[in-house]
Amino acid sequence: MRDTILSLSLKAKRERKTHSVVVVLSPLPLGEGPGVRDTIRPLSLMARGERKTHSVVVVLSPLPLGEGPGVRDVLERWDMKNILVTGGAGFIGSAYVRNMIARRPDERYIVLDKLTYAGNLDNLKPVQNSPQYRFYQGDIADRETVHAIIEQESIDAIVNFAADSHVDRSILEPDAFIRTDVFGVYVLLETARAMGVKRFHQVSTDEVYGSIPEGKFREGDPLEPNSPYAASKAGGELLVRAYHVTYGLHTTVTRGSNTFGPYQYPEKVLPLFVTEAIDDRPLPVYGDGMQVRDWLYVDDHADAVDLALHKGAPGEVYNVGGDQERHNIDVTRLILQLLGKPETLIRHVEDRPGHDRRYALDSSKIRALGWSPAQDFEARLAETVRWYQTNEWWWRKIKTGEYMQYFKKQYGARLGAES
């Protein structure tokens, strides 16, 4: 399909007062199937005709011709076949790759991942033999690597999931966060710009806003990040903005809320608590446990990224919240219930410094693009807990070596002899 769209050419264009008129010359047939009509579905056909080898279509569109989300943009929208997914061996990136390979048979997903402690090729096992998939191990902050892959794979779009992503680790050792989440994003943007990559999507987080006692954050609200992780993500995002405004790079950003599901590295609270509770170990709840997080299922997060990439307007930011706010202590109790474990496993331990009390997002902007998340947090959580119960092969081998060193650093003093 995308090849056919590539071959559409704008022959003439004109602007009327409220609409643009575009004449499209295409080697595609007008009729049923993957024809011209299919390609320009979002616009309205004014007139059509057939020449010997081409279809001629006159399109009337309420969109402008010029910069921004105009007619040209719609016609070019599908002109992407080779998607570079950075950080695609992590939790959300791998879900995106697995899901999109199934959903979009005309696109290829090329993963670039450094395979840090959080990167895991087991996450990509379900697609490892797909002709739509390719893997490169490398660092987004390494210009030569990024350049070579973009050239070799004729990359059309970049979706950047790569990040150091855990708040507690950013408090212990912020260096890697600045290097990957800020400088790495810069290298990707600069290479994308220099090499004419058509789209750049940045996967960001609700944490860039900081904490909100009541109400919900909207996209225009100020960024007030409170942890080194959140600050590095905000820095990366601001570079994305600058590359759009200054160089006209077609960028989009999603700010997702706390994400959960299978294949999540067991340092984040949900898989940490599930896997610790399976082993009857204590669950370290920070402070009073009354902090609020808005939970988003991983497949919903991946869908939002896909939607923003394909349909988002250039330069725009989209909040992606699950609308499932829960207190940490309630989620902890639910996990224990689902596993049939006693609440005596709960330990209230020393709080995280700078701990954001509440996150909440107004996601009406991405909903208006056609996104809607699964509403039933409890059912999704039950499925997720079951996944960790039945996939011990995946997480038991992670909880050794480097993981145990981190665990001791983070929880040794908090849990004392129990750690």
Q: Which residue's Cβ lies closest to ligand NAD?
A: 90
One character per residue 138-177, x = contact with ligand TYD (rule: CB under 6 A): -----------------------------xx---------
- How big is the site for ligand TYD, counted in residues (CB under 6 A)? 14
Q: Shortest distance, CB of residue 26 to ligand NAD, whole angstroms?
A: 38
DSSP letter string, 389-405: HH-HHHHHTTSSHHHHH
Distance CA 89, CA 263 (A): 10
Angle at 34 between CA 300 and CA 158, to 5 degrees: 40
Residue 167 binds which of ligand NAD, ligand TYD, none (CB < 5-8 A, kind-dependent): ligand TYD
One character per residue 299-328, x = contact with ligand TYD (rule: CB under 6 A): -----------------------------x
Is 91 a residue that touches ligand NAD (CB under 6 A)?
yes
323 catalytically annotated: no
Q: CB under 8 Å, gap of 24 or more: what pairs does 54-58 form?
A: 54/25, 54/26, 54/27, 55/25, 55/26, 55/27, 55/28, 55/29, 55/30, 56/11, 56/23, 56/24, 56/25, 56/26, 57/23, 57/24, 57/26, 57/30, 58/21, 58/22, 58/23, 58/24
207 catalytically annotated: yes
Marked catalytic residue, from 107, 156, 181, 206? 206
Q: Shortest distance, CB of residue 327 to ligand NAD, whole angstroms?
A: 17
Marked catalytic residue, from 109, 133, 209, 229? 229
Quick one: which of 110, 124, 149, 162 contacts ligand NAD (CB under 6 A)?
A: 162
One character per residue 13-52, x = contact with ligand TYD (rule: CB under 6 A): ----------------------------------------
CA dihedral angle for residue 291, residue 297, residue 303, residue 308, rounded to 10 degrees: 0
Using CB under 6 A, which of the segments 15-23, 67-75, 134-142, 367-375 binds ligand NAD? 134-142
Which residue shows structure tokens 């264009």?
13
Q: Cβ contacts of residue 229 below 8 Å, gap of 6+? A: 164, 165, 166, 167, 169, 170, 177, 181, 207
Q: Which is nearer to ligand TYD, 187 or 415 (CB)?
A: 415
DSSP letter string, 26-59: ESS-SSSSSSHHHHTTTSEEEEEEE-SS-EEEEE
Is 20 a residue that touches ligand NAD (CB under 6 A)?
no
Yes or no: say if 157 and 123 are a contact pair by the CB < 8 Å rule.
no
Burial category of 355 from C-beta neighbours within 10 Å (exposed 0-12, middle 13-18, buried 19 and up): middle
Is 118 a residue that touches ligand NAD (CB under 6 A)?
yes
Strand partners, 136: 112
Marked catalytic residue, from 156, 207, 237, 316? 207
Residue 23 binds which of ligand NAD, ligand TYD, none (CB < 5-8 A, kind-dependent): none
One character per residue 205-224, x = contact with ligand TYD (rule: CB under 6 A): --x-----------------
303 catalytically annotated: no
Q: At what angle do helices 185-195 and 228-247 cross, to 10 degrees?
A: 20
Q: Cβ contacts of residue 343 below 8 Å, gap of 6+? A: 333, 336
One character per residue 195-234, x = contact with ligand NAD (rule: CB under 6 A): --------x-x---------------------------x-
Q: Where in 241-300 is the site for ligand TYD (CB under 6 A)?
A: 258, 268-269, 272, 284-286, 291, 293
Residues that bind ligand NAD (CB under 6 A): 86-87, 89-93, 113-116, 118-119, 139-141, 161-165, 180, 184, 203, 205, 233, 256, 258-259, 265
Residues that bind ligand TYD (CB under 6 A): 167-168, 207, 258, 268-269, 272, 284-286, 291, 293, 328, 352
